[in-house]
Amino acid sequence: MPNPAVSIIVPVYNTKKEYLDKCIESLVNQTLQNIELIFVDDGSTDDTLDYLRAKEKMYPQMRVIAQGENRRQGGARNTGIRAARGEYIAFCDSDDFVDITMYEKLYKKIISRADYDAVRCFLKLYEGQRGYIDCQESYREEMQRLDGVVLTEADRFLVKGGSVCGALIKKKFFVENELWFPEHRQYEDNFTWQLFKLLMRKMGFVDEDLYFYRMNEGSTTHNPQALKDRIYLEDLKIKELKRRNLFENNYLYNEYQYFVLAYVNVILSMIDFKYTAQDVFRTYLTQKRKLKQLFPNYRQNKYIDELMNEDPARTKWYWMLDHAFPVYYTLKQILALRAKCRA
């Protein structure tokens, strides 16, 4: 039996059956026939594996791998990469779904030029009662202009998104660059996709919304415990960038990414998750110290400056984090003390 052209890897862990069914349905009905669907059960503790085995009997293009140990999404993806027989690989999360024409369109695009390392489409968010939400419209044209060009550091800022989902990638690109996902950690995409963006030379785009990302509060990244992994992986990524000689040559890009992912997003997420003011302030001090050690002149980064001023609603948050957070923390402590005294 000839090898498939495309291997689509789907990590699964205790996924809601209605979500998993929607995902499976969108994949088994792909208009691209020469594919394999690799579902990797990441040590589910419910009946997910039995459910997948039953589906496997129904669809010849579907393969189920029982990983046994829970190694999180990164570990399941690595298992899928090793098992993949296709020349090209793609990733889909088990609570997301895709247009049935997605992989045919991506495949036709990537084989149209031998020098593409990857191609990708655009995505929409899907959130229950709100339905579909455009999230990439503002930079669609900018990304399209990068189609087939040798990417510069400035270009890489325009390749938005932090996930491998929605892309079709040459498997040999992963193998030759020894590119894998961190295991036993959440936010593995932020690590691997950023490395991928710095390693690839040329990328193609299909100007359609074909991948649908479900906004799911039960998702593995929507919980407070994930923040520790995010901090750990951002620090690990800096070490990996230096090891691969990708740090200095992409300094502004790496400075921007660390500012956003390891500093701003961490602190704002802690506030959203209602951490104590003391925990937030302690993390703020640690992350800002690391930021200033790695990137002492980060405030002079023009891309950070543009980000901090592009949206008035966000500008106040960035300004508060970077200049007035100790004052904010002190006021919170005083108000909490006053409330306690009155009680």
What's residue 319's pLDDT?
72
3-state helix, strand, coil in the chain (%, to 5): 50, 15, 30
- Write the single-letter amino acid at 155: D
pLDDT of 34 reads 95
Measured CA to CA, the distance from residue 313 to residue 104 in angstroms comes to 40
Long-range contacts (CB closer than 8 Å, 24 or more residues apart) made by 338-341: none
Q: Which residues of the chain have pLDDT under 50?
A: 220
DSSP letters for 293-342 = HH-TTGGG-HHHHHHHHS-HHHHHHHHIIIIIHHHHHHHHHHHHHHHHHH
Output phi, psi for 120, to 5 deg.
-150, 160
pLDDT at 338: 64
Question: pTM of the prediction?
Answer: 0.90
